[in-house]
Structure 1
Amino acid sequence: MKRLQTISGFLFLCFAAGCAFADDYLIVGTQANGGGAIYDVNGGSLAFIENLPPVENVPWGARAAYYHEANDTLYFAEGDSPAEWSVPLGDLLNPAVAAPATRIRGFDNRGGGEQHPDIFIRGPQNGEIYAHTRGGGRLWHYNPITDTATDMGVHTAATDSKIYQVVYGNTLYTHNGSNGFRAWDQVEDGSWSAPYNPRISGVLDSHATAVRQSDGTYFSGRSGTIAYGSFVSGGASPGTLPRLDPISPLNSMDVSGDGTKLWVAGFQPHISRDTNYLGYFDISGNLASARFTLVVSPGGTLPGLTGNDWRISIVSIPPSGIGPFLRGDSNSDSTFDISDPITILRFLFLGGEVLGCRAAADANGDGGIDITDAIYSLNFLFLGGEALPAPTECGRSDLEEDISLGCENSVCE
């Protein structure tokens, strides 16, 4: 049975106005046969949910996790050994189900070690699954239906590419082993460009890389120092986060779904890889003075996890439906009053209004915007008519009618 054990003292705060993601899950994996576990980092605490299932009765490593939304599946790569596997995320989170782990055979003929994937990624143009192999820096297309891997071509090889790749926009970035990146662009037909130098420097001799998807801010570092910069503007890194002394070096890092935290995992130097630590930087403000919070002190433990040499990944699940919005609030001022049916009438007959959230203007929830919505609103406001359908407080909607109408610009508090 899945367990929810709270780690005392840790609170997950959503600093953004209206969280962009419904749930964040932190996956902590280990190298070799140390297994791993998944933790909930929403709802005010970090909580153990479940151990990652064993593969063929062995708790395989999980250096990096990739969530493929199209089939609700987590894909894992260990990087230094032939240990690729997958597990359905919904099953892993369901207390009534024993989540099955499936060994991926598509890379079996690649030999051993660095000829195997470091990480699985989503193709930014076609949404399909790809993998990067550090040995030779090759890109591969993976088909989960046939369990086969197809080489994307010798032109994609970059012998100086390293581990922990990130995707931003239509580009895949990986560290080049010095102080910069290598990059590949995916084009509309699904093919990839040859690797090129994106003209970004000063990113240190990196072992870990992460990106904030909202603005392209990257984080790259290794021995306790994390440089930051922009994939959008490029150029030299403008600075570093406060140094992680005395608990460097770091193994891996990832950004929370709302972009306010940079999670970091590593071990205390000069002792052993058993002295794992875990924490996060608050990256919601000035990065040069970002505050680091230690969640697990060096040598501490996480519920349900026994392996060492921790590697972390954040899986962010976007909320379903559309919104948030307030039903009947056709002028998007966060209130429902006489001005809203007036806005509908102006929109219908005078052409003088732009509806920022058409779903909100559908006061009776019938999937259209017409004079009956104004009448329905007036009946409720002044004649004690039927209440408006949900959401009657600021919230989201999963109704197909609302999703079809859309809600591009809503001010809802």
Structure 2
Amino acid sequence: MTADSVPATIEHLLRELAPQVLGAVARRHGDFQAAEDAVQEALIAAAAQWPADGVPRNPRGWLYHVALRRLTDHLRGEMARRRREDAVASQVWADWAFVPPPDAEVGVDGDDTLVLLFMCCHPALTPASAIALTLRAVGGLTTAQIAAAFLVPEATMAQRISRAKASIKSSGVPFEMPSAAERAERLKSVLHVLYLLFSEGYASSTGPQLHRADLSDEAIRLARTLHVLLPNDAEVAGLLALMLLTDARRAARTGPHGELIPLDEQDRALWNRAMIVEGVALVSDALSRGAVGPYQLQAAIAAVHDEAERADDTDWPQILALYGVLERTSDNPVVTLNRVIAAAMVKGPEAGLELLKALDDDPRMRGHYRLDAVRAHLYERAGDPARAIAHYRAAAERTASIPERDYLTLKAAGLSVERTAD
């Protein structure tokens, strides 16, 4: 699907349609692994045929048709091998064998990508495994990207995803759209998936681009849909607000050649004011309802940043206080790292460097490029260019994001030039 011969427009369309088709096929068939294999075969067929034959009038229906044909072939082979000739098996076969015409609209209700989100957050799985599987199925993220989001080795994540598929199959619990009560139980995992999907789109962990707009846009779209379905859920509103307030800065985050521009150097005139207004309204309403969750807190922090007309106007004491509350509600070293940055802005870089020591013993952050990057920035602010250079270089070696690597390398080079000039 990603071969060089596939035009970018077709590749983008296939990425967009993949989770929608998988959701429809999985709902119909009930076997996630078989559905995933069939959809993958359909995507490969489309990548081979569409560049030469043209995109069909209904590409989603085409993919759905081909995937079901693959399932039909699979089922036919299974039935022949197992010699299931009883009446029940025959009726099951009749149900599965029906396939709509290639250009027919697929007869499913609602948003199949959102359906797939809830289906993947299966009761047979731990929350972490459900989230990992959903990021793979819905977001199309690589195992390496998912591993980076969870701060675990790639091999560990590959095993986790494989076990998740096996657990669903062996559990006996149908792979289908859950009831309203079951959806409520799975909502926390669904929100986490959308958060990680957006995060990977906004700041891609690998590759030549700083962000993947297809992922962040899809996460926002799904969050909007979920907010329409659950308008009174404060955390759903908080997550949507967080996405809007963060994505509002997208146009200012890169220069003319795709280079990274840090928050304090961005041209705030490029920020999307309509998204900021909408995001602030959402989080303000959510916070007024009483119980405050992590997405509302993160949205509130984003709102403080977005409402500052200049970087120097940022209310860092308020941000530090919000991170303090957020840290008490979560066990996430990245939250602690962000609190350290806020503390350094309020109390000075030396205070930040002292607080960073607590993260050195956290196995989830050991060797993570962000720890080196923050330490380098604080050493630079503290007037210690030699240590800053060493940590900028270490961070550049550890990140898989080319824009981040280039930015960190340039920071180290700039400090080296300044030292030479002195």
TM-score under structure 1 normalisation? 0.25
Which has the larger share of helix?
A: 2
| Structure with the largest fraction of strand | 1
Q: TM-score, normalised by structure 2?
A: 0.24
